[in-house]
Amino acid sequence: MRILIIAVPRSGSTSLLNKIAKEKNLKPLFEPFDGTNRVIYNGEDNVVVKTIVSHHNDNLNLSKQFDEVILLSRKNVLECVESHAYHTYFSKKNRYDSNTPYLYEEMPLDIFKLCYSDILKWNSELKQISTIKNVPITYYEDIFDHNSEERLRKGDKIKNTNKLL
């Protein structure tokens, strides 16, 4: 059995990868097409492969190698963008990695706008794949508990509004 998860970033794809791998006793492969070569997919059986929609230049042909394809996104685009922008900005500052709990804080507007544009583009690509392959998009909000203790975003940082007199 070969399962492929094609996801937008920050949609719970790593958690889904690990859950499916454990439940079906499959080898999890984390983002083998991200360009780092830290994980290699060689067409083997008994795997679940997770990729981000932008990591592979031909997701339609890639999907033909798999028995099952899961398309994953988020209904709440703003929260997806915030999470992606937070990860993009703060991981470059070496303050955060993708599996670290965090309190959301603002980042530069240009980073947010770029991430917003990217998420919209990647959701559009997922919709095209969904239409062509006749595979529904699965949404984060439908499979994960938004209030779970396992959720990485723990809330928002409170802005200090105290003024010196």
| Every domain of the chain and the residues it spans | 2-146
Mean pLDDT of 44-62: 97
Query: Looking at the predicted structure, is the pLDDT value of residue 149 above 70?
Result: no
The 10s digit of each residue's pLDDT in 97-133 is 666 776 777 889 999 999 999 999 999 999 999 999 9
Q: Whole-model pTM?
A: 0.84
The 10s digit of each residue's pLDDT in 75-104 is 999 999 998 998 888 877 666 566 677 677
Statement: 2-146 belongs to CATH 3.40.50.300:
yes
CB 137, CB 127: distance < 8 Å: yes
Report the share of the chain in percent with pLDDT over 70.
82
